Structure 1
């Protein structure tokens, strides 16, 4: 009578260990909509860590989580930053831009870095619209960046205007 109980207990321990293993190694741990930081992005995959979207190092927001590293990010007007985490799968990232803040292209990756509102490549986020293909207000030199997932339209205005 003791033997079946021991077998069931051993099976339960193995099942729990397998669940924990797959939870921590079976694909990206980030979730759509949350903000992340990337470190050690290399051929072996990036280390991805969740962070609050208001944090200074929160350069990216997760648009889509794909279980297969060969999967495709959503098609749209603007390109997602595609990252293969060390834990597997693929993340389709969009920049985490804050309304009213200024940014310039970052040299080290395909992202934007916060900036004081000066310089030729600097843009100011005039509006963030929670709709893909949202209408940015008419304005001189206003540029929109559109992402399907999560539905987001960034309205950007250059800080430095070239004289006509």
Structure 2
């Protein structure tokens, strides 16, 4: 005995099973791809990063809350392949077996009153102002402006500017 619509019901069930298998396959591959990334490489735009140890080839970093003193960088952009970052940004590239697994563009996220070490090869790192490796102290952080003339020329020895979002960092001697 045949019931009307059985074929349609079987086709519908098979179609739903096929869709479920396809979704699991795609999400499973995505999960495997993300499993090989560090926590830093999994960061999203707006997340912040602490540099524990800077290196041109193997930096040690960790995501931190953006209000943390050690939140040296804020993620400005995330890419799957090497991309040119803006002039004021630092690039972070993570590779595995010779292939890029993550590429981030990072903007400075300095805190007013905090000190940092700056290295051309390893970027910025939070340090105590009394540390011998302290390169500069953030005298003032000005939100909403990207203008070096906002810094007091009598106290600031240099500045850093981020254009998006507009931020000016007035820098001085870490010992002063």
2:123 counterpart SS class: coil
Of 85, 91, 99 in structure 2, the residue corresponding to residue 82 of structure 1 is 91
Instruction: Tell me if the contact between 2:46 and 2:75 (Cα under 8 Å) persists in the aligned partners.
Output: yes
Using structure 2 for the length normalisation, give the TM-score: 0.66
From the superposition, tell whether residues 17 and 58 of structure 1 become closer, same or farther in structure 2 (CA, over 3 Å): farther
Compared CA separation, residues 91 and 120, structure 1 to 2 (3 A): closer
Question: Which deviations, in whole Å up to 9, do the C-alpha atoms of 1:96-140 show, x marking residues without a partner?
Answer: 311112223369832122213465844221111223335212324
Q: Count the aligned residue pairs.
A: 156
What do the CA deviations read for 1:46-82 (whole angstroms, capped 9, x no partner)? 786532023354332212223432x11123xx4x221
Are 2:158 and 1:143 aligned?
Answer: yes
Helix, strand or coil at the partner of 1:63: strand
* Residues 87-106 of structure 1 mapped to structure 2, 5 A cutoff: 88-105=101-118
In structure 2, relative to structure 1, the CA distance for the partners of 1:52 and 1:121 (3 Å cut) is closer
Contact between 1:119 and 1:159, CA under 8 Å: does it hold in 2? no
For the 8 Å contact 2:71–2:110, the answer to whether it is kept is no
> Normalized per residue, which structure has more helix?
2
Computing the radius of gyration over CA atoms, which structure comes out larger, 1 or 2? 2
Give 1:50's match in structure 2, choosing from 39, 58, 63.
63
For residue 111 of structure 1, give the secondary structure of its aligned residue in structure 2.
Answer: strand
Tell me if structure 1 keeps the 8 A contact 2:44–2:75: yes
Query: 1:132 aligns to what?
Result: 146
Higher relative contact order (CA 8 A, sep 6+): 1
In structure 2, stretches of 5+ residues that fail to align are 1-8
Checking the alignment, whether the CA contact within 8 Å between 2:75 and 2:105 is kept in structure 1 is yes
Residues 133 and 24 of structure 1: is their aligned pair in 2 closer, same or farther, counting only changes over 3 Å?
Answer: farther
- Tell me which residue corresponds to 1:66: 79
Contact 1:36 1:59 in 2 (8 A): yes
The answer to whether the Cα contact below 8 Å between 1:67 and 1:90 also exists between their aligned partners in 2 is yes
